[in-house]
Structure 1
Amino acid sequence: MLRPTLFLSVVITLPFLFSCKGNKTASEHADIIGIDSSRYIRIPDADSLLPGWRTDNSVVNHWIGDPDNLHPTNGRTASRSWILSLTHNYLMRLDPVSMEVVPDLATAQPEISANKLEFTYSIRPDARWDDGKPVTAADVAFTLKVNKCPLTDNPNARSETENLMDIRLYPDDPQKLTLIMHHEYLLNIAFLATFAIMERDFHDRDQVMDGVSFAQLEDPAWLENPPADVVAFMQEFNDGKYGNDPSLYNGSGPYKVVTWNRHADLILDKKPNHWTDQIKDPKVFQQAKNDRIVFLEIKDDNAQMLELKSQTIDATVWLSTQSMLALEADENFKRNYNYRYTDNYSFNYLGVNTQPDGIRHPKIFDSKEVRQAMTYLVPIEDIVHVIYNDRATVWPAFLSPYKNGFNDTLKPYYHDLNKAVSLLENAGWTDTDGDGIRDKMVDGKKTDMRFELLYSHAGAWIDQMAGMIREAFLAGGIDVKVMVMDLPALSQKVSSHDFDAYLGAWGTNSLPDDYTALWHTSSYAGGGPNFCGFGNTYTDALIDSMNLVVDESVRAPMIRELQAIVHDEAPYIMYLSASRKNVIHKRLGNQIMTFERPGNMVNYLQVIGHGMQELQ
């Protein structure tokens, strides 16, 4: 499922197997006791703790950027999703190990009506909030209603509730509910893996949203003049304090946020005697095996390597390829850490503003010819070779080659200066004043081909990438000014379409995709992740049609057509998927490296000797 989540880093290639177990020599490959070439790698535990290894049952997990916030609905970063997966529960969840949508708070897969429009769930009777109250169907209904409400500041996720028509509760059974859908839809179960369940009585003590029906949330007349108490509630609910003040975080998951020092560390502690400790036959994601998880922010590549060499960091999936290659040459690193290059479904891209206002942002990328020219200017082969040491894949469009519907007739755009120059000149961009920069009369005014390229700093590799792009574009007569900013600031810029071009990345997964959020024009107009302004009535109809199709064999040609259109229109002018560099210290057992996000099961790690068990 394409759940757009803004990244800082790039993440793909098949796993190369390095490292060793326990006291084996560094030249020996590690044994693997569980592997599925498209799902996960399970690495055996070390025989014993070696001298110098820490013995505390905590995990220091490295990342390269804070979440934008930890609000239960209003956010878009991958790091936020990671934290919520540890502090909250979901009705159904995508299991990173099995790559299947499985019950979390639900007791089982839903009962589905004969018309395939009603899905009945029961909530686990043992699930509890921190105040001791049971998790109920009313909590699930509140969660989905708030996420569907247009007054909620969650354009990224709201589109996933469009097919939800109503929810039926059962007064005689507070743990039971039925979701009623508008039509058959491929993701009528999987969409639930998006939404962290919230406690109604914590967020809505006056039960204001109980008085709002799902029909009203879809009624334009109601939305034009919503009741004052609903407006007041939503203003309070959207307040940034619920995403930034740890004392106001409230989830049913096994961990709680105890400290958040922005741009330094975010610390989770395991809740004592948590209800998940008593689950029979729990999934890996339901088990909190360590007492504390420290998410440690380090952006600088050299600092990351120093902290790994000093064994401060226990786990990371955020290393650059250059850093990983340097560490592979260090025998002490190989003695202390297991590491793999693993696949995933995410990609980096360069997005451009196809609907510039001509005032703050020049009318450059509103031309398809210009966008196509830009694709030929990106030095993509050099980027793959220099930055990723050839451990990256260039995609022709937005879909992973490993997913159903991939259009294998499309070819990536590779660097070709002559083609780029020809396209630019055909579009009227020439150097009329001899200053080395192309220009054109646009709306009666001479406009130079200059634009800003925004990105969030995630290490030396992205600075290098931006520099290589700038140099290649200058050779084509285009002046690029690179601008670095924090991820929340970048997120705000692109969400409000206040940009010329930017470097970004999307986190996706193995499930079938709904392309509404990424490519539908309603997403652009509504502040969703169609940042670049792609789309028209035809592509909207194509997306709407494929969402009504359940049969993958019928849906696949539609997906291929959408890829071909996006490839031709070029709102993104680069698609690059690099291998995830997955590192875990050998002092920790239960090591599972997944191809799904986030890449390691940090909750499942524990210092060896604490009762290791077979993968369940």
Structure 2
Amino acid sequence: MKKISIYLFVLVLIIAGCRRPQPAGNEVRIRVEQDPENLNPVSYLSKNAAQMINLLYQSLLTVDLADGKLKPLLAESMPTVVKQDSVSFFTYRIRPEATWDNGAPVTASDVVFSLKVIKCPLVNNEKIRPDFEFIQDIRTDAADPKKFTIVCKGFTPEHLLMSGERFFVMPEYIGDPKGLLKQFTLPQLQNNFDALTQDPQIAQFAEHFNSADFTRNPEKLQGSAGYQLENWTTGQQIQFKRKPDWWGNKTPQTIGHLTANPEKITFRIVPDNAAALVALKNGQLDVWQNVPATVFQQLRQDKTQSEKFQFFTPQTYSFVYLGLNGQSEKFSDPRTRRAIAHLLDLDAIIKTTQQNLAVKTVGPISPADKRFYNSQIQPYTYNVTRATELLLLAGWQKNGSVWQRKTNGEIMQLKLNIGYNASNSEYENIALIFQQAAAKAGIPVTLQPLENGVLSKDLKTGNFDCFIRSLTGNPFVFNFKPILHSESVGPDGLNYTGFSTPESDRLIEALYASNSEAEKAKMLKRLQEILHEESNLIFLFFQQDRIVVNKRFGNLKISGIKPGYDVSAFTLQVD
């Protein structure tokens, strides 16, 4: 009898667990695939972590997803900018209402501290520290504790974004309660970096800030944004609750990008897509971003689900491309590279891998950006005959079923290996479609699914023929030097394909420094022409995001800029 009772008890638990939960009121539940590595505003690594950290901390400026424009956030206005010779000065003032959780005002001293942490030796800041080398100093105003000036080396339009939007301001009273960094200036930390690794106070601070407390402890992870970390259950969920007396609600006028509307925001860890689909249908999730294309289309076409959810497909700033090893003798002639471009059936690729939710592109500029995209260039069409003609022009000869070319007295065969991330099924399908098309032209292609770290190593050492990858840009800065400039070719750079021409180098350098939209448009369109002619990178498409949101919520601010929506702005829809 005892066994039967136990079985009945277990059955009751199972049935209870399968019941659909009641609507969660003013709580937004978001699907994420895995726990973030940490929520430290300096050492975090993933996009999921960044989205969560934005609920806790604020930057001086922010991108308002409602219109994609850069606007003041913790700062009361956009900075004043002064350029002098080889130095530029960005002067900010913190909003007068801005306070920390203990009621103390956010001041320039907190900004100084935050930049010191980014530059401090021994701190786990290796990922972001190089991005801020251009910041040479920060000067506070003796008469105004909320006013300060960031001193930058030289000037580029990117300095505005980096100095204002790309770092979080942290409370000094929590991050450095003993004042260990007080005696060090920003220039000292930068210029004496190696020597200071031996300083006992630096070592003490780094041990404190690198500790587990600053990765997930709610008492340490406190910023000026509208939410507090409530709990983090590994592998299950991470919950944030709205601050009851947040300073952002006390501004003299409503600021549309300064929000903390939902009472709770919960990120639910659901690694498996099938499980995520069940949770969505059962009412356990409200938001699912980057839904697999096939699942997204099925949901959208399901009448029951279309009555419950909203579906969005904003064009992102992420593009997928095929990279060719231009430093290999195989691809030394641009006509060979263009022949490969004609063996990519873009229509089939976009239909099969993206369910037609993508936009063809001829370069790294989004087709949605009418100012800068070169619409005069047409994507290469799938054309086996044209590919064959180009191969012959490049000196290849068909010997039976094999393409050959004599180089330096040796016979070379045209056969390819294509590498891609083994965990990405979309890339695998692209590779398969390319393999089938290349076979029609007599070019054997071997698929090489690789772990991402192995693929990156092969790309750095030049041990590849071609590869499939994606890159993500932004609408504010066009800095192509790391991926397209001749200085970035080699094992220490990211220009894996070896693309470079003297003209493209000049354009890339000029683009980085230009402040004129008309000049940028002219240079960007010419750069796209050169990229198209050289074809080291064969641009396939810009991805469209696939976002599903419960119809209970409005004011979503859907955008092509990640994460694709502003959850802090969500409001409950009135029936």
Aligned residues: 546
2:93 paired residue number: 122
1:568 is displaced (CA, Å) by 3.1
Is 1:480 aligned with 2:446? yes
Q: Does 1:175 align with 2:146?
A: yes
Q: Flag structure 1 segments of 5+ consecutive residues without an equivalent.
A: 1-50, 357-362
Shift in CA distance, 514/461, structure 1 to aligned 2, threshold 3 Å: closer
The residue that corresponds to 1:396 in the other structure is: 362
Q: Quick check: 1:92 aligned with 2:65?
A: no
Post-superposition offset of 1:482: 3.9
Amino acid at match of 2:430: M
Please give the residue correspondences for 1:511-522 in structure 2 after superposition, counting only pairs within 5 Å. 511-520=476-485
2-structure distance, mates of 1:378, 1:299: 32
**CA RMSD across the alignment:** 4.4
Q: Which amino acid aligns with 2:139?
A: R
Q: How far 1:288 sits from its partner (Å)?
A: 1.9
Deviation at residue 233 of structure 1 after TM alignment: 8.0
Deviation at 1:569, TM superposition (A): 3.4
Q: 1:415 to 1:234 in 2, by over 3 A?
A: farther
| Counterpart for residue 384 of structure 1 | 350
CA distance in 2, matches of 1:528, 1:395: 25
Distance 1:186 1:290, change over 3 A: same
The structural deviation recorded for 1:70 is 4.3
Partner of 1:596: 561
**Shift in Å at residue 133 of structure 1?**
4.8
Q: What is the match of residue 383 of structure 2?
A: 416
Aligned mates of 2:298, 2:158 — CA distance in 1: 43
Contact 2:364 2:539 in 1 (8 A): no
Q: How does 1:174-323 map to 2 (within 5 A)?
A: 174-191=145-162, 192-200=164-172, 202-203=174-175, 207-208=180-181, 211-214=184-187, 217=190, 228-229=198-199, 245=216, 249=221, 251-257=223-229, 258-259=231-232, 261=234, 265-298=237-270, 302-323=274-295
Letter in 1 for 2:557: I
Q: Out of 377-386 and 277-286, give the one that drifted further.
A: 277-286
Secondary structure at the residue paired with 2:519? helix
Normalising by structure 1, we get a TM-score of 0.73
SS state at 2:557 partner: strand
In structure 2, C-alpha distance between the alignment counterparts of 1:278 and 1:371, rounded to whole Å: 59
Alpha-carbon distance, 1:265 to partner:
4.7
Structure-2 residue corresponding to 1:553: 518
Among 112, 121, 139, the alignment partner of 2:110 is: 139
Once the two structures are TM-superposed, the CA of residue 396 in structure 1 deviates from its matched residue by 0.2
Residue type matched to 2:312 in 1? R
- The one-letter amino acid paired with 2:184 is G
Q: Deviations over 1:521-544 (max 9, x none)?
A: 556679676555544665444323
3-state SS in 1 of match to 2:285: coil
Counterpart of 1:483 in 2: which secondary structure?
Answer: strand
Rate the CA distance shift 1:446–1:507 in 2: closer, same or farther, 3 A.
closer
The change in CA–CA distance for 1:494 and 1:232 in structure 2 (over 3 A counts) is farther
Q: Mind listing any 5+ residue stretches in structure 2 that lack a counterpart?
A: 1-19
Query: How far apart, CA to CA, are the structure 2 residues paired with 1:158 and 1:413?
Result: 40
How far apart are residue 117 of structure 1 and its match? Answer: 3.7
Partner residue of 1:60 out of 6, 29, 41: 29
Q: 2:420 aligned with 1:454, yes or no? A: yes
- Indicate the SS of the match to 1:592: coil
Alignment-derived partner of residue 72 in structure 1: 41
The aligned residue for residue 308 of structure 2 is 336
- Three-state SS of the structure 1 residue aligned to 2:170 is coil
Match of 1:504 in 2: 469
Higher RCO (C-alpha under 8 Å, 6+ residues apart): 1
Answer whether contact 1:351 1:571 (CA < 8 A) is retained: yes
Which residue of structure 1 lines up, in the alignment, with residue 7 of structure 2?
none
Q: Check whether the contact 2:477–2:512 (CA below 8 A) recurs between aligned residues.
A: no
Counterpart amino acid of residue 399 in structure 1 = I
- Residues 493 and 265 of structure 1: is their aligned pair in 2 closer, same or farther, counting only changes over 3 Å? farther
Note if contact 1:309-1:332 (Cα within 8 Å) is conserved in structure 2. no
What is the SS of the residue equivalent to 1:408? coil
| CA deviation after TM superposition for structure 1 residue 268, in Å | 3.5
Question: What is the CA distance between 1:397 and its match in structure 2?
Answer: 0.2
> Is the alpha carbon distance of 1:414 and 1:156 closer, same or farther for their aligned partners in structure 2, counting shifts above 3 Å?
farther
2:119 and 2:273 mapped to 1: Cα distance? Answer: 41
The CA deviation at 1:80 is 3.6
1:577-592 to 2 correspondences below 5 Å: 577-592=542-557
SS across alignment from 2:54: helix
Partner Cα separation in structure 2 for residue 165 and residue 413 of structure 1: 46
Per the alignment, in what secondary structure is the counterpart of residue 307 of structure 2? helix
The answer as to whether partners of 2:359 and 2:367 remain within 8 angstroms in 1 is: no
Q: Shift of residue 193 of structure 1?
A: 1.7
1:335 deviates by 1.5
Matched, 1:576 2:571: no
**CA distance in structure 1 between the partners assigned to 2:384 and 2:566 by the alignment:** 44
SS where residue 288 of structure 1 aligns? coil
Aligned pair partner of 2:374 in 407, 421, 432: 407
Q: Report the Cα offset of residue 332 of structure 1.
A: 1.1
Aligned to 2:17: none
Q: 1:211 is paired with a residue of what secondary structure?
A: coil
Q: Alpha-carbon deviations, 1:322-371, whole Å to 9, x = none?
A: 22221223121111112233334332333455568xxxxxx766765554
Could you tell me how far apart the structure 1 residues matched to 2:376 and 2:406 are? 35
Distance in 2, matches of 1:185 and 1:162, equals 13
Aligned-partner residue type, residue 417 of structure 2: F
Q: Does 1:346 align with 2:304?
A: no
Q: Distance in 2 between matches of 1:495 and 1:144?
A: 33
Q: Verify the 8 A CA contact 2:321 2:537 in the aligned structure 1.
A: yes
Alignment CA distance shift 1:270-1:470 (3 Å):
farther
Structure 1 position 104, deviation (Å): 0.9
Distance change (3 Å), C-alpha of 1:427 and 1:108: same
What amino acid maps onto 1:382 in structure 2?
A
Q: CA 1:538–1:276 in 2, change beyond 3 Å: closer, same or farther?
A: same
Q: Is the 8 A contact 2:288 2:549 kept in 1?
A: yes
| Structure 2: distance between partners of 1:364 and 1:52 | 59
Paired with 1:406 and 1:591, the residues of 2 have a C-alpha distance of 28
